Chain A
């Protein structure tokens, strides 16, 4: 079996739409770097907690996926709706969710954003436009599209973005949703984080379509394939898609190529890929790319180190906060079934 390689599949120029790219000022890039490093450290800390048996259930980390989350968060407003998959910690943190509440939720503590009832797969915070991560592959995609419909009905200037993996393209409801979104020209952005594996199986083994961004062309939807590991590319592409959406020009499909450096979930045996493949991908991963770019643009290693030290301390404190937090009161098991 041939292992897929990111290097081979990131195109230098897009087939259909020229890659939108901007050069962001260094201070913005430094904020992005901070947020990206925070996501990375939160995910690594969560994996450590999982290894020590403190996290139950399935937890899917997004190490290597940070580019899409950061680029999109900077391109949109907090009033723009966002839904995502169970691999969604990065999207919430990129929008500004407090890592304390995030880690506490994954641990099932009372101080989590959903009082410990949602956990790793259900990150949510409407005050940040985070309308829900989802445990069912593809289910969040019509939700965001319905939120775009709501914005249309209310006459509001909001767009919705929904993130999903390459594996979601093979769910029937995705295609039902693409059709309606395009037919009604809804202000929604479909962002596929293509990490080349549907859970543990490379899509090359299950898909009859080799380039995912081609799927929606039958619906007449604008579709682009980009380097999802480059925050400036993601930022510019999402910005452009949002402008199209706000102007009533309808949805955009973005296939952001990326690579998941961590396993599908905590405890993944990862028998489907080699350590050489993972090592090779590390040179393209978003944090390394951004760090390299900042150095090239004159930022000193000391400046970056200072940011990293701050983040390390913040994440350490968040882990401590979460571990020290109380369990939810038992009565909480019976609340929030119906809104009264």
Chain B
């Protein structure tokens, strides 16, 4: 084990898979010569050349469509979008094309495509560069949605995404990029399976199910709730949204009897709403108190620091929600 940043972990996953499998190639804006807006694709063009690391024009729909086509004939493209918000520009190619191709063709054409995108609030980028829209993607069968929060999970899940035979949305929160964590040595080949949650903190009083950057906020909130109130919160890192590992969530709630689902995307019609609905459908008898969700307020993301802090479901808001449920 060694410590790397989240960025480094993602960069290594792509590099290792490109070395291992010549079908893997990259497309995106400023990813080659510049090395990516956030330097995630640094040095890859130097190693793999312009044929496999392709600097595209600002034509998201066009190049995601081309990547879909290349994937339809067996290559394994990885798309980088510097902001997840831009995936909406290419919505048809993602939702109507890549996600549905395998089904529409009766299983004769599949699309092994990875869509990497940076997302989330916290850096005052405002309404069109801060969104988390993974629940929109989760509405479309055929596409997997992966949301790692640690460098270890980021590398292992990206390797799994690249080896997957389906389109995978891989989300990288902008607040996670410079976080550091343990990652196996460079020569260790490991995979984190898509669709498997991970308990990041054990506890007995309440299950907090979350993913991506709100996981770190939830862990901090849990420590403070322990120190300040003596509550023991169990924090479940979902890691994948599609498929959703309800088994791990249910096992945790069996222990705690309480569930709060937290995410940065919209509360309305979100993943939290889904998890809460499913616990009532599948195991309502586990609950000692009503299950709840906490997402973003139904507004667009403002730029002002104080306004952004108000609406994001981060530590302060997580603690408040937990206290309402436990007091």
Contact = CB atoms under 8 A, between A and B. Distances in A.
Nearest to B98: A143
Contacts of B64: 142
B25 to A, nearest CB: 6
A147 B72 contact: yes
B75 interface: yes
Q: Determine which residue in A114, A154, A176, A183 has the highest number of CB atoms from chain B within 10 A of its CB, and name it.
A: A176
- Is chain A's interface secondary structure helix, strand, loop, or mixed overall? mixed
A153 B70 contact: yes
B235 interface: no
Contacts of A150: 69-70, 73-75
A36 B281 CA distance: 56
A117 B104 contact: yes
Given A131-B73, A153-B51, A176-B62, A114 B68 contact: no
Interface stretch (A8-16, A91-99, A202-210, A331-339): A331-339
Contact of A180 (B52, B62, B110): B62
Interface residues of A, number: 45
A142 B62 contact: yes
Contacts of B283: none
Given A153-B51, A179-B57, A180-B63, A143 B72 contact: yes
A139 B166 contact: no
B107 A335 contact: yes
A313 interface: no
A153 B21 CA distance: 13
B65 A177 contact: yes
Interface stretch (A19-27, A39-47, A120-128): A120-128
Contact of A139 (B67, B93, B142): B93
Interface string A212-236: 0000000000000000000000000
B165 interface: yes
Contacts of A336: 102-103, 105-107
A173 B106 contact: no
A149 B52 CA distance: 10
B61 A337 contact: no
A117 B142 CA distance: 14
Contacts of B144: 338
Given A146-B70, A147-B72, A179-B59, A141 B106 contact: no
B8 to A, nearest CB: 26
B66 A146 contact: yes
B53 to A, nearest CB: 11
A197 interface: no
Nearest to A145: B66
B104 A114 contact: yes
B72 A132 contact: yes
B119 to A, nearest CB: 23
A340 B72 CA distance: 16
B1 interface: no
A260 interface: no
A136 interface: yes
A337 B103 contact: yes
Nearest to B61: A173
Contact of A142 (B51, B65, B108): B65
Contacts of B105: 114, 117-118, 122, 124, 132, 336
15 contacts: A118-B104, A126-B108, A126-B109, A132-B109, A139-B97, A142-B65, A143-B66, A143-B68, A144-B69, A153-B51, A179-B62, A336-B107, A338-B102, A339-B107, A339-B165
Interface of A: 81, 83, 112-118, 122, 124-126, 131-132, 134-136, 139, 141-147, 149-150, 152-154, 160, 172-173, 176-177, 179-180, 183, 335-340
- By Cβ-Cβ distance, the 10 closest A-B pairs, closest first, are A146-B69, A142-B65, A176-B62, A114-B106, A176-B59, A146-B66, A143-B69, A336-B107, A339-B165, A146-B70
Given A139-B96, A179-B62, 8 more contacts: A118-B106, A131-B72, A132-B72, A139-B97, A173-B59, A176-B57, A176-B59, A336-B106
